[in-house]
């Protein structure tokens, strides 16, 4: 078993294609296929299912994948340790970000640009997704760091957590909404939203998780009428009287 075989295997899984994996690795596709078949022969089990239009991982391959990523990560860690002694920092950092996180308190483009200026040999990748999927990506090694919204303070074992910002949720409504009566009212009980159409982030986001948990504790079933990935869009929908938007303050 060779490290390059593990690297080829992981790349094919990530690309779901031998052709795309070969292009990413800057290699000929037959060579990548041959090395993975050699790895499968050595292990005595197929790691990839080649029968469909895209390449998928078998049950055995799924179990092997975590170890392959760990092995490649260990080798990269050795290289980085040696580089630190020579004053050279390089590698790859995969960052995940919930939609809208770069608005307001977080200037993510500036942060990444400054990091790139300080460490030009470090490859940075950035993706946006739901908190739920990014937690899974952290667990299987596809992401190194994720800025997410959380419904629980301890989401998963093995995940280190640092709170960057903690803000209350608010109900945003149109100026003439009955929830604002009497004038000067600044808060409403959650039960008051039980029969109202709600506007929320999609399922799998931290905000949605907090909303659903709070509603369950209050004994009400939220009626989600509109979903959008960006909080400003939720506010715009509420401003036009389409429902009550649940937003970070």
Taking every pair of Cα atoms in the chain, the longest distance, rounded to a whole number of angstroms, is: 75
* pLDDT tens-digit readout, 132-169: 888 888 888 889 999 888 766 666 777 888 888 778 88
- Whole-Å CA distances, 10 to 5, 26, 77, 208: 9, 15, 17, 33
* Structure-model confidence comparison of residues 106 and 143, the more confident one: 143
pTM: 0.54
Q: Is the dihedral of CA 169, 175, 178, 181 positive or negative?
A: positive
Alpha helix (H) residue ranges in 86-195: 108-118, 131-139
The whole-number pLDDT of residue 45 equals 92
**Sequence spans of domains, the chain:** 1-86, 89-166, 169-248
Omega into 182 within 30° of 0, i.e. cis? yes
Query: Would you tell me how many other CB atoms lie within 10 Å of the CB of residue 63?
Result: 12
- Residues 208-231 have a mean pLDDT of 88
CATH classification for the domain delimited by 89-166, as one of 3.30.420.40, 3.40.190.10, 1.20.1090.10, 3.50.50.100: 3.40.190.10
Is domain 1-86 in CATH 1.10.10.10, yes or no? yes
Tokens found for residue 143: 């992401």
Is 203 a residue whose pLDDT tops 90?
no
Same topology between domain 89-166 and domain 169-248: yes
Q: Which fold is adopted by the domain 169-248?
A: D-Maltodextrin-Binding Protein; domain 2 (3.40.190)
């Amino acid at each position: 078993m060779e490290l390059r075989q593990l690297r080829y295997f992981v790349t094919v899984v990530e690309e779901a294609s031998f052709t795309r994996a070969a292009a990413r690795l800057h290699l000929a596709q037959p060579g990548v296929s041959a090395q993975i078949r050699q790895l499968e022969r050595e292990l005595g089990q197929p790691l990839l299912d080649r029968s469909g239009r895209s390449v998928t991982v078998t049950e055995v391959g799924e179990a092997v994948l975590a170890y392959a990523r760990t092995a490649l990560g260990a080798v990269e860690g050795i290289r980085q340790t040696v580089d630190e002694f020579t004053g050279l920092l390089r590698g790859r950092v995969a960052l995940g970000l919930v939609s809208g996180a770069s608005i307001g308190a977080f200037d993510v483009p500036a942060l990444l640009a400054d990091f790139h200026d300080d460490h030009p040999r470090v490859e940075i990748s950035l993706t946006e997704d739901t908190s739920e999927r990014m937690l899974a990506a952290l667990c299987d090694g596809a992401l190194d760091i994720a800025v997410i919204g959380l419904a629980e303070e301890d989401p998963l074992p093995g995940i280190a957590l640092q709170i960057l910002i903690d803000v209350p949720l608010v109900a945003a409504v149109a100026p003439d909404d009955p929830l604002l009566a009497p004038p000067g009212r600044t808060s409403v009980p959650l039960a008051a939203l039980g029969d109202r159409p709600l506007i929320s982030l999609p399922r799998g986001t931290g905000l949605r998780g907090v909303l659903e948990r709070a509603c369950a504790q209050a004994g009400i079933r939220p009626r989600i009428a509109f979903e959008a990935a960006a909080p400003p869009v939720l506010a715009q929908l509420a401003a036009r009287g389409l429902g009550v938007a649940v937003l970070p303050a």
